[in-house]
Amino acid sequence: MAVQALTLEGLTSAEFQKAEGFFRGAARTQLALLLVAAVSIFVTAETPTLLLGISTALLFALWAWLDWNYRACRGQAERGRRMLLIVEGLGNNVSLEEQRDVEEGFSITATEGQAAQNPNFFASNRAPGNERLVELIEESAFYSCRLYRFSAGYSWRRLSLFSVICLALLLSSITFASSSDLANGARLFCVIAVFLISQEILGNGRDYNEAYKALSAMQGRIRALKRGGYPEADLLVLMADYNSSVEGAPMMAPGIYKRNAANLDDLWRRHQQTN
């Protein structure tokens, strides 16, 4: 990997890590909001209710700040990833002005970028050109496709867990609660249901599945592109579709890559040997 490409890769990786931290924090804050809302259903005293209201407002402000920063960092990281594909695939032929514009958009320091650098980020050994760019897209799609499938499974498991908890709370309230308690239980069920259908669980699971299906279908297109001699127009369409699929989905579930990195590396090596 060229020196300038290595610098860009480190900055991009560090920015993605920062975005993941905000993403994780926003999810936890939403869970805290749910718990506060659930508790508020059963609190009738004026002072505790007021304190819960203040807590809700503060948590909402924290969630908004985390979500705002997550989207800003994610957007910049994706911009760096797009340029990295070009620089690594076709050679370092991006203008100095464009490189500086991208690098100035990163919110992390040069030291943080250096710490995140990985000289072996891409496995391809081809010379810069259309063939190398296709191989980089193929490698990226190979990893992303499987990681989105794992992330979708993570989201569906969370959805199932919260559904079971939700149902258990409702059924347990029926066995011993008074009519007023049943009403509170029903309201609690509504609060949890709203959380269950929020973007963080149901929406994320749907978007992960869509990204997985799009990237999975891309493998056949890559094979056809190779057989066709790497036509440039088809390559540009492929790269645009890959970027659209990746950027249209949420960030992968926290920690999902680290838990599966070794296995995915082994699968990719075997994939290369058969292609």
Q: Are residues 67 and 137 in the same domain?
A: no
pLDDT beyond 80 at 43:
no
Mean pLDDT of 183-197: 59
pLDDT at residue 15, rounded to an integer: 96
Q: Note the pLDDT tens digit of each residue in 145-184.
A: 999 999 998 888 877 877 776 666 666 555 555 555 555 5
Q: What pTM, to 2 d.p., does this model score?
A: 0.83
Q: Are residues 236 and 177 in the same domain?
A: yes
In angstroms, rounded to a whole number, what is the distance separating the alpha carbons of residues 157 and 94? Answer: 43
pLDDT at residue 91, rounded to an integer: 83
Give the model's confidence band at 198: pLDDT under 50 very low, under 70 low, under 90 confident, else very high: low
Give residue 231's domain range. Answer: 129-275
pLDDT at residue 189, rounded to an integer: 59
Q: Are residues 148 and 261 in the same domain?
A: yes
pLDDT beyond 80 at 191:
no
Q: Are residues 38 and 141 in the same domain?
A: no
Structure tokens at 54: 């203040």
Any idea which residue has 């890959």 for tokens? 242
pLDDT beyond 80 at 113:
yes
Percent helix, strand and coil across the chain, each rounded to 5?
A: 85, 0, 15
Nearest to 146, CA basis, from 264, 272, 271? 264
| Structural domain ending residue among the three candidates 77, 94, 117 | 117
Mean pLDDT of 255-268: 87
